[in-house]
Amino acid sequence: MSVLDTGRREAVRALSHLDSEMWPDIAQVPTSTVRARVAQRLFERVVRKLPLHVLLPDGRVLGAGGLEGPVLKLRRPEAFYLRIGDSGLVGFGEAFMAGDWETDDLAGVLTVFAARVGELIPPSLQRMRDLVLLKHPSSDSQAKSNQKRNIERHYDLSNELFTLFLDSTLTYSSAIFPGQESLRPTATWDQLEGAQHRKIDRLLDGAGVTKGSTVLEIGTGWGELSLRAAARGARVLSVTLSEEQRILAIERVRLAGLEDLVTIELCDYRDVQGKFDAVVSVEMIEAVGYRYWPEYFATLDRHLKPGGKIGLQAITMPHDRMLASRDTFTWIHKYIFPGGLIPSVAAIEQAVFQHTSLRITDRFAFGQHYAETLRLWRQQFEGRADQVEQIGFDETFRKMWSLYLAYSEAGFSSGYLDVYQFVFEKPATPLAAQEV
């Protein structure tokens, strides 16, 4: 029996406590030793070039980081290589959930990988990515028939879960802290509420929302943007596909005494009726899906009155990486956000130019502020592990959620991801008339 086979059996025994129905791909360990050996050679070659080190159970160390770099501890190397050999980065994430590897600096380890994501796989193997990497299942597409289910799988987990790590505004998107947007701020939990309001107010200002404005919000969240807009005297229609979010958002509107100004509907953005002075949408485009970006922007344009403005907040990634990865099924898709894709700035601008009458009047980047927002969320979540367990989420879920938050933080810390606020304006006079 090979070392890999022995390690696999030991890993399966160590995972016998898991709910195999809830976590089928964590409770089982793949069997292909050939792929595992290839994965081991590739992984060891990669980490020797990175400023971190990998600590093996026998005390050996791989990597160039020295004792000062972040440490990835391989508890069960055989199972680790079997998983990444079977499904690449999906397996890397599942290996963490299974406890095959661990670290005292999760965001630090992941930031090292994120900073060099385009260099991790040799060019010769990158050309084979379409043959090797997993593809999106058809059930995860953002077709209208699927989108509500995709949204429910994340946002309807539990309102109580989200209240455990979000601040009192229940805002689940990047804040803007005081300081330069291009630099990572040093923030405390007590600053987060004000920083979320700063973000919302900047977007509402950009969209020209004031007393008497009619506003369409696509993607309600838990209602904070609608409350801020209504407090200005605007009338807001907010649409969402999350039943749980809608219930709590309606209650928050009621408690604020703003029922006359805010309506929250369970509705796909494609089914909205009417025209508005302003349209706002915060970090919702990532769930739209690549195929539907033209329809999404055309819909925003259609619902905007001439002379009106759109305030859009969007996470972005480099255009070349977006094109290379848009068909790849990732760990984030499997466990966190099914069917989504982060756009590039170029993709957003292209969709707006080709499918709308809009013009871009402002773009504002503040990705390092998202890294800090995520750090605060993750610290809050991990500090309340007992409460997360009490509301029904097991240890595997808690590892998964910590990995998701750290994975996201690493993306922004490394600069691989960014976040923008865009302002689009619709001409007061149709373009055809202007040309005459």
Write down the mean pLDDT value for the chain: 90
The predicted structure's pLDDT at residue 326: 86
Which range has the worst mean pLDDT, 12-26, 104-118, 133-147, 165-179? 133-147
pLDDT tens digit string along 326-370?
888 899 999 998 888 999 999 999 999 999 999 999 999 999 999
Tokens of 343: 């756009």
Q: Taken in order 248, 250, 253, 254, is the CA torsion positive or negative?
A: negative
* pLDDT of res. 136: 56
* Per-residue model confidence (pLDDT) at position 433: 47
User: For 294-327, how does the pLDDT look when each residue is reduced to its tens digit (9 = 90+)?
Assistant: 999 999 999 999 999 999 999 999 999 999 888 8
Residues 411 and 401: their CA atoms lie apart, in Å, by: 15
Cβ 218 vs Cβ 232: under 8 Å: no
User: If you average pLDDT over residues 109-119, what whole number do you get?
Assistant: 87
Strand ranges across the sheet with 61-62? 61-62, 53-55, 71-74, 101-102
Domain ranges of the chain: 3-132, 138-435
**pLDDT at residue 133, rounded to an integer:** 57
Residue 126 has pLDDT above 60, yes or no: no
User: Quick one: pLDDT at residue 182?
Assistant: 79
Contact (Cβ atoms closer than 8 angstroms) between residue 391 and residue 422: no
- Angle, in degrees to the nearest 10, between helices 106-114 and 395-413: 50
- Averaged over 247-258, what is the pLDDT? 98
Of the chain, the end-to-end C-alpha distance in Å amounts to: 81
- Reported as a single tens digit per residue, the pLDDT across 128-168 is 455 455 655 655 555 565 566 667 777 778 999 999 999 99
Q: How many other C-beta atoms can be found within 10 angstroms of the C-beta atom of residue 374? A: 22
What is the CATH architecture assignment of 138-435?
3-Layer(aba) Sandwich (3.40)
pLDDT at 131: 47
Per-residue confidence (pLDDT) for residue 339, from 0 to 100: 81
Judged by average pLDDT, the poorest of 15-24, 77-86, 282-291 is 15-24
381-433 pLDDT, tens digit per residue, is 999 999 999 999 999 999 999 999 999 999 999 999 999 999 999 999 765 54
357 by Cβ neighbours in 10 Å (0-12 / 13-18 / 19+) ranks as: middle
Position 49 confidence tier, pLDDT thresholds 50, 70, 90: confident
CB 380 within 8 A of CB 195: no
pLDDT of amino acid 181? 80
SS in 3 state form for the chain? CCHHHHHHHHHHHHCCCCCCCCCHHHHCCCCCHHHHHHHHHHHHHHHCCCCCEEECCCCCEECCCHHHCCEEEECCHHHHHHHHHHHHHHHHHHHHHHCCEECCCHHHHHHHHHCCCCCCCCHHHHCCHHHHCCECCHHHCCCHHHHHHHHHHHHCCCHHHHHCCCCCCCCCCCCCCCCCCCCCCCCCHHHHHHHHHHHHHHHHHHCCCCCCCEEEEECCCCCHHHHHHHHCCCEEEEEECCHHHHHHHHHHHHHCCCCCCEEEEECCHHHCCCCEEEEEEECCHHHCCHHHHHHHHHHHHHCEEEEEEEEEEEEECCHHHHHHHCCECCHHHHHCCCCCCCCCHHHHHHHHHHHCCCEEEEEEECHHHHHHHHHHHHHHHHHCHHHHHHCCCCHHHHHHHHHHHHHHHHHHHCCCCEEEEEEEECCCCCHHHHHC
